[in-house]
Amino acid sequence: MPKFELPPLPYDYNALEPHIDEQTMRLHHDKHHQAYTNGLNAALEKHPELQEWSIERLLQYINAVPEDIRGAVNFHGGGYYNHAIFWENMSPQGGGEPSGTLADAINQAFGGFSQFKEQFSAAAGGVQGSGWAWLVYNPLTKGVQIQTMPNQTSPLTLGLVPLLGLDVWEHAYYLKYQNRRPEYIQAWWNVVNWDDVAKRYEQARQG
């Protein structure tokens, strides 16, 4: 019995229209996310002792994962975990700006929300090839920062806590936006679920 299962979308496939189209959501969730889930389970079959580990532990301690499956766990495990956050980071009622302690942390780190949005969009647009842009919590500085990651590698592998992730793999936007990644990034801000990001920030802050 596979340990990791594909988490259901928290809304309908067409709920993020017109910003993210139904066909992309179906393919992205049902095919791509399922493939990462299957790949992670297949890798862990070779080392049953790791099947008790949580996904967070696997990624945080990626160097403790046996070398023969480390690359697969980094890629498929990261893909599994990143997408689970990505779906929850978005909502049909999303958009706007954060409030409360998360807004304070963003203002402190970037000088204001508009500056953060500009820097985050630029980071996401600048990812070469496939990867992600993240707003993360850094336990060492006790602040938030922007971090880009290649392919499916999770910020957890760097000791950073992912709060808000934007998938800039072409499969995330190509059906609707073709090669217009900046247009996709601008549209995505309309569906950001700041309540979810704030919840992750509070959990990260409390360790």
Strand residues in the chain grouped as ranges (E): 131-138, 143-150, 161-167
Contact between 98 and 202 under an 8 Å Cβ cutoff? The reply is no
pLDDT tens digits along 152-199: 999 999 999 999 999 999 999 999 999 999 999 999 999 999 999 999
Backbone angles phi, psi at 48, to 5 degrees: -55, -25
Domain definitions of the chain by residue range: 21-207
pLDDT confidence of residue 207: 84
Contact between 66 and 44 under an 8 Å Cβ cutoff? The reply is no
Give the dihedral sign, CA 40/50/3/87: negative
Nearest to 187 by CA among 81, 94, 114: 94
pTM of this structure: 0.96
In whole numbers, what is the pLDDT of the chain averaged over residues?
A: 97
Q: Is 21-207 CATH 1.20.20.10?
A: no
pLDDT confidence of residue 102: 98
